[in-house]
A and B are shown apart, each in its own frame.
Chain A
């Protein structure tokens, strides 16, 4: 058992690469730290860069998970290539859809203004409904309902 454990520290023998506990724990620490950072930056006004900063932090976290936890750094390059490829295609999907919908926002707004009268929200929101038993019955049944 000891001999095998020793063997598997070498990249070129055995089936996979065994990651040291210290490295895994370090990645967890970094991920938790970045979560704290994103909660703080997310609740602060960052002059319009909020989304960009949140996405940079999320991408950093994702890279750590992919490279270390998912072993991509020691894995076949093709897996990384294919995974990044899929993310790039998501980017194409996103970019084309965004530019396309931007083009029709005017029409959508015009249509929803035309349809305003058909919506219940043309009128202000009603006040919450007064409790059914208020006024005529104070026997304490209300508490039971809850």
Chain B
């Protein structure tokens, strides 16, 4: 703590005299160390943006060429769950930002509380994803390659009467009035929509799971009292990662759920 105060007051001169506890030997100052970590994290976040962009572009090209089929597809998603998940993720982003503040100020118990709330929100998000995915699994709203997909062009799945057939009946009413060419095109494109849907939300979900792992690790370290004004880089970078997960969802929610 004393080193932190010394460093905060005169970080240009006295680093050689008392080596701060958290300074790695290959850095001159805590400031240089912190800046290097941040630069590395931002470089990683850029690659994440580009990583997700492939799927966003797949979505955009499919949608731009078939806008009306995409509105039909979105009507099979539940806006209520999407909106609840948005709120849950925004709250978790807030608590992540708060935990950075707590770490900077050395408020360990508040830091732990905010990290735990962030974890609970992440868990709630995945729980809601599970509810949504299991509904789609039972209703056959799946990528066309899967055996129990109603969009499988070789052997389409057909539900039992009065058993997971609500979405199927709605789709049947929509496409059975079409010409065969139109119906094939619509069913193929709907299958692609659900392919993009599962890949985009699935990749996002994997990021949430990784985030849960990293936040848990930070929580363990916070519990050991490791973080304070001169050592909060791990909390800061974890929060940056978590905000990126939030950013992706901010775009996914209106694009997938709100186009009906």
Q: How far is the CB of A72 from chain B (nearest CB, A)?
A: 9
Evaluate contact between B50 and A89: CB separation under 8 angstroms: yes
Q: Which chain B residues lie closer than 8 Å to A51 at the CB level?
A: 259
Q: How far is the CB of A37 from chain B (nearest CB, A)?
A: 11
**Chain A interfacial positions (CB closer than 8 Å to B):** 1, 3-5, 7-8, 13-16, 18-19, 21, 24-25, 27-28, 31-32, 35, 38-39, 42-43, 50-51, 54-55, 57-58, 61-62, 65-66, 68-71, 75-76, 78-79, 82-83, 85-87, 89-90, 93-94, 97-98, 101-102, 105, 109, 112-113, 115-116, 119-132, 146
Evaluate contact between B180 and A122: CB separation under 8 angstroms: yes
Q: Is the interface of B mostly helix, strand, loop or mixed?
A: helix
Kindly state the separation between the CA atoms of A41 and B188 in the bound complex, as whole angstroms.
29
Q: Which chain B residues lie closer than 8 Å to A42 at the CB level?
A: 79, 254, 257-259
Q: What is the chain A residue whose CB lies nearest that of B155?
A: A120
Q: Which chain B residues lie closer than 8 Å to A127 at the CB level?
A: 161, 172
Q: How many residues of B contact A (CB 8 A)?
A: 87
Evaluate contact between A119 and B8: CB separation under 8 angstroms: no
B163 in contact (CB, < 8 A): yes
Q: Of residues A4, A24, A82, A102, which shows the largest number of chain B Cβ atoms within 10 Å of its Cβ?
A: A4
Q: Which chain B residues lie closer than 8 Å to A21 at the CB level?
A: 98, 101
Kindly state the separation between the CA atoms of A39 and B258 in the bound complex, as whole angstroms.
7
Q: Which chain B residues lie closer than 8 Å to A86 at the CB level?
A: 46, 49-50
Q: How far is the CB of B188 from chain A (nearest CB, A)?
A: 7
Kindly state the separation between the CA atoms of A97 and B57 in the bound complex, as whole angstroms.
8
Q: Which chain A residues lie closer than 8 Å to B255 at the CB level?
A: 54
Q: Which chain B residues lie closer than 8 Å to A14 at the CB level?
A: 8, 104, 229
Kindly state the separation between the CA atoms of A14 and B86 in the bound complex, as whole angstroms.
34
Instruction: Digitize B187-219: 1 where CB-to-A-CB distance is under 8 Å, 0 elsewhere.
Output: 110000000000000000000000000000000
CB-based closest 7 A-B pairs: A42-B258, A54-B254, A28-B94, A86-B46, A90-B53, A124-B176, A128-B161
Q: How far is the CB of A115 from chain B (nearest CB, A)?
A: 8
User: Which stretch in B59-67, B119-127, B129-137 binds the other chain?
Assistant: B59-67
